[in-house]
Chain A
Amino acid sequence: MNPPLLAVEHVMIRIGGLVAVSDLSFMVERGQVVSLIGPNGAGKTTAFNAITGYLRPRQGSIHFEGQEITGLTPERIAALGLVRSFQRTSIFGSSTVFDNALMALHLRGRAGLLAAFLPFSTQQEEERLREEAMTMLGFVGLLGRAGARADSLAYGEQRRLGIALAAAATPRLLLLDEPAAGLNPSETAECMALIRQLRDRGTTILLVEHDMAMVMRISDRIVVLNQGRIIADGPPEAIRRDPEVIRAYLGSAPQGGAHAAA
């Protein structure tokens, strides 16, 4: 049997003496959209940081396609095919949108120092990368803004560019950290369509998101985190009715509970 795409086992993470995640175990199977939800401070982003190498867990292990990635650097993990997006908008601000896409396609190129001085040797690669960059921008609907400076884009466009950058090198697992944060309803719908397209393209997606309507509609499976522990794991219908989930949301974060109950 194939190992799961991502297996997080008994991960414990401390941040400055505080236990942010106490015992986290879950799996992500290929081809799914899995959501990691929980009230504010539940440890979702911390878990993301640990999976992508920005934080080192104190205990436990993380396997990607059967290979242990615990403690590897973010760039090594990205090279294995696991890329993330960021909660706060993260782009290469003073470069053009097109150059942003080219930079994000770093892993799709090979050229080293020597190749810089033999332009003919890399011409084909450069052309291919440029084409891929245009395709990616077309995919997220930013082709028309290719020549604009990235920090001159509207907020919603910057969010989409952020997703494009993470998805550019066609990772096998894409971690999206609140992709719909701050978007209006129509932009959220676009964002959802984008995530579905990415999944149909063969990218498995692990999602952290606060917009419960979106999570319920898009996820194949939902993992609920509360106070650093997993309290539920299952398909959306089961999660919606899970008494412990309802208690977590209503008990500790009433404003979130309205969404969960809806």
Chain B
Amino acid sequence: MSALLGWGFVAAMAALPLVMPDPYLLAVLTSAGIFIIGAISLNLLLGYTGQLSLGHAAFFGLGAYASALTSLGFDIGIGFGHRLRLEPQPVAVGFLAAILVSGCFGWLLGRLAFRIRGAYFVIITICFAQVLRMVALNWVELTQGPMALVGIPPFALWLPGRGVVELYAKNQTYWLVLGVAVLAFLVVRQIVHSRIGRALVALRENETLARSVGIRVTHYLVIATVVSAAIAGAAGSLFAHYVRIVDPDVFLFIYTVTMVIMVITGGKGTLWGPVVGGLIFGPLPDMLRGSAPPEAQWIAYGLAMILLVMFLPRGIVPAVAGWLPARRAAAPLPAPAPSPVQGGAG
């Protein structure tokens, strides 16, 4: 039932460019979609492990830089007279590089930061993003610093019968982002519904008890960080090849905040939360642009956020799920175990 609804939603989103081929709308939804992917990845950390990463833009930015540099190629000195060179690679290689690089940094940060949790984790993640921004600003040989990496190639996909096609058209990138978003959603869903997901929720709800039943804290938190970082890296790669220019501002705090807002208003710890929150707060600034002066836009944005958090503190998705009485009754009871005793119990 819920799965059917989900696929129906995906089908509707996929059909949108055919029904409303307005390039402005598609551009707005594409950039919202990229941040929704980031929000989906953040939700795995914030929603399911309960750890607030306020440096999530770090993984996003790492992915953007990794992907851009792989597809542009680079030639840098690495000391002692040696040089590291990379010829320009296909965009798909850049995309994989983004996932890999972000995932590795996720592992590193997870190993370091989960020794100290809570507020300290939040601080470390903020610093992490800030340090990366400083590196991007100052390692001019590699990143061009504030001059930004420009001329990043657009996406290219191999299509049957047409060979490798560069995706310039708005509807093509829209579909690509939608496809990656669906993949990211499915990855997170599979993890959440697995033994790993249960371990994560157990750690979030009662760490002392979780450890007492043998759940290895660091192990599972690191898995969550790696997967979360890798997906954020994929989103960063999409961003780089969509905007086609990457500067150190991708590490800015505001990008993290955007993702955090999407997750919290939509409902952290629910699979659909970041999607719903993202569809509201992703396009909102652009939607308001036509009808209100800039000051009023941000005031409206802030107001919408405050009202949502005030009246639906757990987010939109849990609130809506609570209003549907049928779902509440049907959801939690598991399929009864195939046991002969079962018949008499009812």
Specify which of B194, B206, B334, B338 is in contact with A90 (CB 8 Å cutoff).
B206
Verify A106–B206 contact, CB threshold 8 A. Answer: no
A103 CB contacts on chain B under 8 angstroms: 198-199, 201-202, 210, 213, 215
Does B324 touch A at the CB level, under 8 Å?
no
User: Would you call B196 an interface residue if the criterion is a C-beta within 8 Å of the partner chain's C-beta atoms?
Assistant: yes
Q: Are A112 and B196 in contact (CB under 8 A)?
A: yes
At the interface, yes or no: A143 with Cβ under 8 Å from chain B?
yes
| Distance in angstroms between the alpha carbons of A85 and B213 in the assembled complex | 9
A83 contacts B213, CB within 8 Å? yes
Interchain nearest-CB distance for A26 vs B (Å)? 21
Q: Does A69 contact B (CB under 8 A)?
A: no
**B211 touches A (CB below 8 Å):** yes
Measured CA separation A96–B330 after assembly (Å): 13
A75 x B337 contact (CB < 8 A)? no
Whether A165 pairs with B213 at a CB distance below 8 angstroms is yes
Measured CB to CB, the nearest residue on chain A to B197 is: A116
Q: Taking A116-B195, A134-B337, A138-B341 as given, write out 9 further A-B residue pairs in contact, using a Cβ cutoff of 8 Å, ordered by the A residue number.
A: A52-B212, A83-B212, A103-B213, A104-B213, A112-B196, A115-B195, A131-B337, A149-B332, A165-B213
> Which residue of the partner chain A has the closest CB to B333?
A147
Chain A residues, Cβ within 8 Å of B190? 116-117, 119
CB proximity to B under 8 Å, residues A92-112: 92-96, 98-99, 102-104, 106-107, 109, 111-112
Tell me the complex Cα distance, A115–B205, Å: 24
| Cβ of B288 to closest chain A Cβ, rounded Å | 36
B-to-A contact residues, CB < 8 Å: 187, 190-191, 193-199, 201-202, 205-206, 208-217, 223, 227, 332-339, 341, 345
Contact A143 B345, beta carbon cutoff 8 Å: yes
Whether, in the assembled complex, A58 has its beta carbon less than 8 Å from a beta carbon of chain B, the answer is no
B332:A147 contact, CB within 8 angstroms: yes
Contacts of B217 in A (CB 8 A): 75
Across the interface, A116 reaches (CB within 8 A) one of B196, B206, B213, B341, namely B196
Please judge, given known A-B contacts A78-B211, A92-B206, whether A116 and B191 are in contact too, CB under 8 Å: yes
Contact in complex: B201, A92 (CB < 8 Å): yes
Question: Is the Cβ of A91 less than 8 Å from the Cβ of B206?
Answer: yes
A73 to B216, CA, bound (A): 9
A169 at the interface (CB under 8 A from B): yes
Select which of A52, A111, A130, A135 is within 8 A of B335 by beta carbon.
A130
Q: Tally A-B pairs: CB < 8 A.
A: 121
Complex alpha-carbon distance, A86 and B334, angstroms: 27
Say which residue of A91, A119, A129, A133 sits within 8 Å of B209 (CB atoms). A91
Q: Which residues of A contact B335 (CB under 8 A)?
A: 130
A130 & B211 in contact (Cβ 8 Å cutoff): no
A15 at the interface (CB under 8 A from B): no
List chain B residues, Cβ under 8 A from A117.
187, 190
Verify B333–A146 contact, CB threshold 8 A. Answer: yes
Query: Are B223 and A93 touching (Cβ within 8 A)?
Result: no
Which single residue of chain A is at the shortest CB-CB distance from B189?
A: A116
B195 A109 Cβ-Cβ under 8 A: yes
Indicate if the CB atoms of A95 and B201 lie closer than 8 Å: yes
- Could you tell me the distance between the alpha carbons of A134 and B196 in the complex, rounded to whole angstroms? 20
List residues of chain B with CB within 8 A of the CB of A74. Answer: 211-212
* Chain A 130-146 near chain B by CB (<8 Å), digits 1 or 0: 11011100100001101
Cα of A168 to Cα of B213 in the assembled complex, Å: 9
A166-190 CB contact bits vs B (8 Å, 1 = yes)? Answer: 1011000000000000000000000
Q: How far is the CB of B61 from chain A (nearest CB, A)?
A: 25
Instruction: Report the minimum CB–CB distance from B237 to chain A (whole Å).
Output: 21
What residues on B are CB-neighbors of A54 within 8 Å? 208
Report the minimal beta-carbon distance from A115 to chain B, rounded to whole angstroms: 7
Given contacts A90-B206, A103-B199, A147-B332, contact A134 B339 (CB under 8 A): yes
Tell me how far the C-beta of B308 lies from the nearest C-beta in chain A, rounded to whole angstroms.
Answer: 21
**CB within 8 Å for A79 and B214 given contacts A91-B209, A92-B205, A92-B206:** yes
Question: Contact between B334 and A130 (Cβ–Cβ < 8 Å)?
Answer: yes
> Across chains A and B, which 3 residue pairs bring their CB atoms closest together, nearest first?
A78-B214, A147-B333, A116-B194
| Residue pair B208, A130 in contact (C-beta under 8 Å) | no
A-B contacts, 12 of them at CB < 8 A, read A86-B209, A94-B205, A99-B332, A103-B215, A104-B213, A106-B195, A113-B196, A116-B195, A122-B195, A129-B195, A131-B339, A135-B339
Q: Does A221 contact B (CB under 8 A)?
A: no
Nearest-neighbour CB distance to chain A for B93, whole angstroms, equals: 22
Interface centre among A99, A103, A125, A129 (most CB of B within 10 A): A103
Query: Contact: A93 with B194, CB < 8 Å?
Result: no
Q: Using a CB-CB cutoff of 8 Å, which residues 19-73 of chain A contact chain B?
A: 52, 54, 73
CA of A147 to CA of B332 in the docked complex: distance in angstroms?
A: 5
> Smallest CB–CB gap between A66 and chain B, Å?
20
Does A93 contact B195, Cβ atoms closer than 8 Å?
no
Whether B208 and A86, one on each chain, are in contact in the complex, defined by CB atoms closer than 8 angstroms, is yes
Q: Does A160 contact B (CB under 8 A)?
A: no
Give complex CA distance A104, B209 in Å. Answer: 9
Known: A98-B334, A113-B223, A119-B190. A84 touches B195 (CB 8 A): no
CB-based nearest B residue for A165: B213
